[in-house]
Chain A
Amino acid sequence: MNRVEMRFLSLADNVGLARIAAAALAGQANFSIHDIEEIKVAVSEAVSNAIIHGYENRPDGWVDLIMELDQSGMTIIVEDAGVGIADVEQAREPAYSKDPERMGLGFVFMESFMHGLEVESTLGRGTQVRMRRFVTLSGELSRDAQ
């Protein structure tokens, strides 16, 4: 069991900081290197979304990263107090993005690499992304995780 809470400004520099912290915590559990690489991508996407969409690239917003390890895996929460998402279901669709240079794959990667994704958002109040990754044993979900 372990729990880490971080709060950082909505700066692009902090995306790397967040995923390195996630990787370091995941390294305390029985995650494989491949698992940790995927967790890093999911965290990177969630934090990038908070900065780009939540705070619309404003550098003065706070992003909260809460990570918890337990016997069966890791829970990661990324929360912002930004503008919120008008239509969460639409935002989760592949190729949906307000920026033509972006691919709208952030949620696709989060859903693909994690074993559960919940998004709660309120316009004008912010967004919380909650992700869960189970420890896998020999390529299968551990008994506790099933």
Chain B
Amino acid sequence: MTIMHAIQGRHVRVTLRGDLDLKTAEPLRDALDKLVDRYRDKNLVLDLTEVDFVDSSGLGVILGRYRRLSAQGRQISLAGVKPSVRSILELAGVDSIISIGGDPVRGQTAAPKS
């Protein structure tokens, strides 16, 4: 998994490349927690444009960061979500608590649900 980040105004944009599963969950969690701790005044945007696969291990990382950030009054959103990944997120109900497909950094509206 490749993890890159950039600061864009009030957001930390993290671009992920690879699958989010049991193998990548722990290093991803560690990397995101470091960013969350380092940039304490910023929200988190996960760019999943180059993520083709997410299972419950990957979802656990996303929801764990949602809980951390929410407790601090901060937000997490997902951008570039592919249909196959979106169906997983919707089945888990993630779309009801986290903005999916929207791009707050660039001011786009949320993508319509497929």
Contacts and interface: CB of A to CB of B under 8 A. Distances in A.
A103 B20 CA distance: 14
B5 interface: no
Given A41-B55, A101-B61, A103-B59, A109 B91 contact: yes
B56 A103 contact: yes
B19 A16 contact: yes
Identify the interface centre among B57, B91, B92: most chain A CB within 10 Å of its CB.
B57
Interface residues of B, number: 20
B22 A15 contact: yes
Given A41-B55, A109-B91, A103 B63 contact: yes
Interface string A104-118: 111011001000000
B23 A103 contact: no
B6 to A, nearest CB: 26
Interface stretch (A45-53, A67-75, A78-86, A137-145): A45-53
A12 interface: yes
Interface of B: 19, 21-23, 25, 29, 53, 55-57, 59-61, 63-64, 84, 87-88, 91-92
